[in-house]
């Protein structure tokens, strides 16, 4: 195991922010992970687990022992006539796993095409897009307990999945390192094409009939149009969560803003943060090297040379304006570090 010091994390976060880690190492399996955790304990430096770096905002140099998870492997662990259970290493790139599933004809993750990040990070915030969330295909996961190095498993119920949420962001934050995730995929895929423009885009792209490939291509097309490619323009996807408000609050706002969109959920009415931000005048606004994306105002971008602390200030200023105008609190979706 190679340990580096004062390592630039620029290549390891999709905002492309140039902050340093006090210590840095990469681990390829559970044994190396345990060694790295031990090394961090010995150095008396808190361990910080890094996946694809696509959902973090670095606001400073990190006085941490950064452990980049590179655990690979996509293997069938169980199979019956209808389903296949696939165990995937936490370090696999999410979109590459989606491609693997599609090539093998396994349905369930095609709507989650092109989501940046790694497989290990996917359960942390129950990634979701176009009507599907990871909890819909999740079977269980394996994790290492940070404190004692023991290997444990979590069922879907144990994970406490919610909208962009799980116990790994709440009561179990920083307690475990997710090492492998097992998904249950369908040999006879049931397509979910009801969200937004998915159906229309499949026709537009000329697919003769719906299939998991067609859904995936349509979603890649939609996402590429709206969401900036982090390899070209630094960003971390949606910066804020879509707020969920009470029906009373929604009706109050609707009386003043008849155009306000709202989607019923079991927790309340979900309103698009993108709409609130756009109405507050922030869509496409630029502050020098950083700004609010012109096609999707939920996404903050680093045009190059931007600073994490400025992005944080920008996000706070947007949230303040939205709160003053609508009385709705925006919560960040990315993890502030
Ligand atoms: N909207 C605007 N102005 C805009 C763009 C959107 O007002 O410029 C409003 C419209 O009312 C639109 C609504 O926002 O109908 C929803 O837009 P969209 O379908 O693009 O989805 P979103 O709510 O902005 C969520 C996820 C995305 C995911 C898409 C598609 C969150 C925080 N974000 O965005 O996930 O790709 O749905 O399912 O839930 C991510 O988490 O990083 C992410 C990109």
Active site residue 78: no
Q: What is the pLDDT of residue 322?
A: 98
The model's pLDDT over 118-133, given as tens digits with 9 standing for 90+, comes to 999 999 999 999 999 9
Among 190, 188, 183, residue whose Cα is nearest residue 78 = 183
CA pair distance 258, 256, nearest whole angstrom: 6
CA pair distance 278, 153, nearest whole angstrom: 42
The yes-or-no verdict on residue 145 having pLDDT over 90 is yes
Ligand 1, residue 227: give the atom nearest the CA. 44
Residue that terminates a domain, selected from 204, 226, 248? 226
CATH number of 80's domain: 3.30.465.10
- Do both 188 and 275 map to the same domain? no
Q: Is the CB of 180 under 6 A from ligand 1?
A: no
Q: How many domains does the chain have?
A: 3
Q: Is the CB of 196 under 6 A from ligand 1?
A: yes
Q: What percent of the chain has pLDDT above 90?
A: 98
- Do both 98 and 176 map to the same domain? yes
The model's pLDDT over 79-125, given as tens digits with 9 standing for 90+, comes to 999 999 999 999 999 999 999 999 999 999 999 999 999 999 999 99
- Do both 202 and 306 map to the same domain? no
Catalytic residue from among 146, 164, 180, 184: 164
Interval 150-166 mean pLDDT = 96
**271 CA → ligand 1 middle, Å:** 10
Among 60, 91, 58, residue whose Cα is nearest residue 74 = 91
The model's pLDDT over 4-53, given as tens digits with 9 standing for 90+, comes to 999 999 999 999 999 999 999 999 999 999 999 999 999 999 999 999 99
- Do both 89 and 221 map to the same domain? yes
Pocket test for ligand 1, best of 113, 201, 263, 298 (most atoms within 8 A of CB): 298
- Do both 113 and 256 map to the same domain? no
CATH number of 286's domain: 3.90.78.10
The model's pLDDT over 166-225, given as tens digits with 9 standing for 90+, comes to 999 999 999 999 999 999 999 999 999 999 899 999 999 999 899 999 999 999 999 999
- Do both 43 and 121 map to the same domain? no
- Do both 256 and 239 map to the same domain? yes
Cα 195 → chain centroid = 19
Q: Is the CB of 278 under 6 A from ligand 1?
A: yes
- Do both 48 and 190 map to the same domain? no
Neighbouring residues of 229: CB distance < 8 A, sequence distance ≥ 6: none
| Confidence bin at 159 (pLDDT 50/70/90) | very high
Active site residue 164: yes
- Do both 22 and 85 map to the same domain? no
The model's pLDDT over 186-203, given as tens digits with 9 standing for 90+, comes to 999 999 999 989 999 999
Active site residue 79: no
Q: What is the pLDDT of residue 1?
A: 84
Count the alpha carbons within 13 Å of 55 in the hemisphere toward its beta carbon.
26
Ligand 1, residue 164: give the atom nearest the CA. 39
Ligand 1, residue 226: give the atom nearest the CA. 20
Three-class SS of the chain: CCCEEEEECHHHCCCCCCCEEEEEEEECCHHHHHHHHHHHHHHCCCEEEECCCCCEECCCCEEEEEEEECCCCEEEEEECCCEEEEEEECCCEHHHHHHHHHHCCCECCHHHCCCCCEHHHCCCCCCEECCEEHHHCEEEEEEEECCCCCEEEEEHHHHCCECCECCCCCCCCCCEEEEEEEEEEECCCCCCCCCCCHHHHHHHCCCCCCCHHHHHHHHHHHHHHHCCCCCCCEEEEECECCCEECHHHHHHHHHHCCCCCCEEECCEEECCHHHHHHHCCCCCCEECCEEECCCCCCEEEECCCCCHHHHHHHHHHHHHHHHHHHCCCCCECCEEC
Q: What is the pLDDT of residue 208?
A: 87
Q: What is the span of the domain harbouring residue 260? A: 234-336
CATH number of 63's domain: 3.30.43.10
Pocket test for ligand 1, best of 54, 116, 129 (most atoms within 8 A of CB): 129
| Confidence bin at 285 (pLDDT 50/70/90) | very high
Atom 19 of ligand 1: nearest residue by CA position: 196
Interval 234-255 mean pLDDT = 97
Interval 298-303 mean pLDDT = 97
Mean per-residue pLDDT of the chain? 96
Q: Could you give the angle at the alpha carbon of 173 between the alpha carbons of 170 and 177, nearest 5°?
A: 135
- Do both 143 and 186 map to the same domain? yes
Residue that terminates a domain, selected from 69, 88, 103? 69
Q: What percent of the chain has pLDDT above 70?
A: 100
Q: What is the pLDDT of residue 196?
A: 84
Q: Is the CB of 296 under 6 A from ligand 1?
A: yes
Residue that terminates a domain, selected from 200, 226, 252? 226
**142 CA → ligand 1 middle, Å:** 31
Neighbouring residues of 119: CB distance < 8 A, sequence distance ≥ 6: 88, 89, 90, 91, 92, 93, 94, 97, 181
Atom 13 of ligand 1: nearest residue by CA position: 272
pTM value surpassing 0.75: yes
Atom 34 of ligand 1: nearest residue by CA position: 238
């Amino acid at each position: 195991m190679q340990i580096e010091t004062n390592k630039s994390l620029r290549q390891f976060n999709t905002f492309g922010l140039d902050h340093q880690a006090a210590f840095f190492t990469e681990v390829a399996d559970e044994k190396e992970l345990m060694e790295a955790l031990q090394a961090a304990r010995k150095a008396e430096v808190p361990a910080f687990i890094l996946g694809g770096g696509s959902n973090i905002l670095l606001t400073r140099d990190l006085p941490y022992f950064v452990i980049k998870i590179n655990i690979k492997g996509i293997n069938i662990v169980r199979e019956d006539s209808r389903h296949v259970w696939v165990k995937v290493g936490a370090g696999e790139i999410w979109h590459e796993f989606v491609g693997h599933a599609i090539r093998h004809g396994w349905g369930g993750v095609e709507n989650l095409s092109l989501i940046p990040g790694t497989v290990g990070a996917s359960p942390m915030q129950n990634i979701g897009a176009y009507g599907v969330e990871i909890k819909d295909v999740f079977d269980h996961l394996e994790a290492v307990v940070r404190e004692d190095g023991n290997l444990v498993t979590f069922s879907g119920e144990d994970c406490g999945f919610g909208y962009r949420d799980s116990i790994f962001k709440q009561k179990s934050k920083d307690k475990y390192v997710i090492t492998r995730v097992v998904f249950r995929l369908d040999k006879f895929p049931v397509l979910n094409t009801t969200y937004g423009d998915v159906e229309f885009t499949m026709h537009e792209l000329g697919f003769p009939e719906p299939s998991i490939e067609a859904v995936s291509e349509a979603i890649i097309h939609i996402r590429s149009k709206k969401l900036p490619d982090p390899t070209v323009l630094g960003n971390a996807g949606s910066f804020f969560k879509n707020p969920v408000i009470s029906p009373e609050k929604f009706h109050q706002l609707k009386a003043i803003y008849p155009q306000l969109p709202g989607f019923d959920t079991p927790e309340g009415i979900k309103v698009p943060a993108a709409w609130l931000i756009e109405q507050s005048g922030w869509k496409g606004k630029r502050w020098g090297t950083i700004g609010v994306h012109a096609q999707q105002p939920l996404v903050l971008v680093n045009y190059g040379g931007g600073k994490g602390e400025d992005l944080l200030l920008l996000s706070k200023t947007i949230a303040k304006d939205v709160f003053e105008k609508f009385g709705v609190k925006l919560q960040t979706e990315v993890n502030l570090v």
